[in-house]
Amino acid sequence: MDTNKKNAKAVILAAGKGTRMKSDKSKVLHEIFNKPLLAYVIDAVRNSNIIDFSYIIVGHQAEAVSEFCQKFYPQITQTRLQTPQLGTGHAVSFVVDDLKEFDGEVVILCGDTPLIKAQTIENLVKTHREKNSALTVMSAIFDNPTNYGRIIRDENGLKAIVEEKDATEEEKKVKEINAGIYCVNWKEISPAFSELTNNNAQGEYYITDMVKWAVNKGLKVDSYVLENNNEIFGINSKLHLAEATQILNEETIKKHLENGIQIVDPKSTWISPETEIGADTIILPNVYITGKNKIGKNCKIGPFSHLRGDVEVEDFVKIGNFVELKKSKIKSHTNVCHLSYVGDSEIGSGCNIGAGTITANYNPITKVKSKTVIKDGANTGSNSVIVAPVIMGENANLAAGSILTKDLEANSLGITRTALRVIKNWVKSK
């Protein structure tokens, strides 16, 4: 059997309100490192190399979630509105018509689990295929399984998942829990979603009841035990959001340290998982990096620097104290000195961006952001302002305290400084 074939689909449950978030925003659109929770899940599914399309079940703030999917994932996702919201089993029923001709696996997972890894999803589907199961439940072993649905087994294997509110005292002692991710053979399991009942404490149609349904039909049900329990950490509050951010950051920093990056103070450093960093680069304390970035080898970043995404820094670049970078490319052997802001810019190699330099990229009247280009060998003096769109030619220099509003030719000096006026004995006269 080919366990690497890519014809599986995904159903991502993202309809919940998330009452404990205490926010008007959809729970799945809350962010870690400026990236929505739902995006982490979609990316994990996409990067699994085994699933080619996802259906997103929306409900609360459906329009906002749908707009996000259409903007960032138009080719690989479609949204389906769950109304009314009668439980997780009811949610999956909204893709039955879409998949009525589909003969393959469907992975069902939640949009509020940003720590799930692509490799884990891939392992789940491969295990499912290798064991020729009709339904595979991802499970985990918890010393304290409180609040989780329990995996109930008998001599024949897995027979049911029981939610804690419906569990007996004996069932509550079980430490194997339901991780909330499933792989199903769609043709065999999809009829369950029209036959589930809501005879439970919540009066909802539980997706977990499809296990008992499958067992009663004589279908093969198995489990895939998760190796890293952090991956199913679900976000239900702002406290959970902070905890997940910390877990993800610790994983990211550990990876960089193992890859030869010097991070002076891991506890005060925050680095997004999409950021690539080359060997022998030094990250100084209190650096905050969000979004997708690429930092080269032998660079020095910080302290107190902020990279806001879409930043590419080549080798041997120095980013000084309290520097903010956004959507910019900085070529090798360039220094961006302290207290500077560089946004929507391209800076060449061998440049020196003086302290307090600002690339003024945003026009508040037109709402347009424009680009600054500083070519190889060019320099700016301290406290300079470059009003985009503008180009500084090779080896051009901008004098300290100047405001540049038009292109500056190569090898030229730009200066807008007024003549110094000296009033003698002014202090004494006051």
Both tokens of 172, joined, read: 């509550």
The average pLDDT across 13-35 equals: 94
Q: How many helices (H) and strands (E) does the chain have?
A: 9, 37
Q: In this predicted model, what pLDDT tens digit does every residue of 146-171 receive, in sequence order?
A: 989 999 998 888 999 998 888 999 99
pLDDT of residue 3: 45
Q: How confident is the model at residue 90 (pLDDT cuts 50, 70, 90)?
A: very high
- Proportion of the chain above pLDDT 70, given as a percent: 99
Q: What's the chain's average pLDDT?
A: 95
Alpha-carbon distances of 87 from 17, 36, 164, 237, 398, rounded to whole Å: 12, 23, 16, 20, 63
Place of tokens 């829990």: 177
Residue-range domain boundaries for the chain:
8-232, 238-414
* 305, 326 contact by CB (below 8 A): no
CATH annotation of 238-414? 2.160.10.10
Place of tokens 């190889």: 376
- What is the pLDDT at residue 6? 63
133, 210 Cβ separation under 8 angstroms = no
Alpha-carbon span 177 to 137, nearest angstrom: 10
Lowest mean pLDDT among 27-31, 205-209, 248-252, 285-289: 205-209
pTM (predicted TM-score): 0.92
User: Which of 30, 128, 240, 338 is an active site residue?
Assistant: 338
CATH assignment, 8-232: 3.90.550.10
Q: Are 8-232 and 238-414 equal in CATH topology?
A: no
338 is catalytic: yes
Spatial separation of the C-alpha atoms in residues 73 and 95, rounded to whole Å: 18
**Tokens 């769109």, located at residue:** 389
Distance from C-alpha of 423 to C-alpha of 161, rounded to nearest angstrom: 85
Half-sphere exposure of 56 (CA within 13 A, CB side): 33
394, β-bridge pairs:
none
Q: Which two tokens stand for residue 23?
A: 């926010």
Question: Dihedrals φ, ψ of 226, to 5°?
Answer: -70, 140
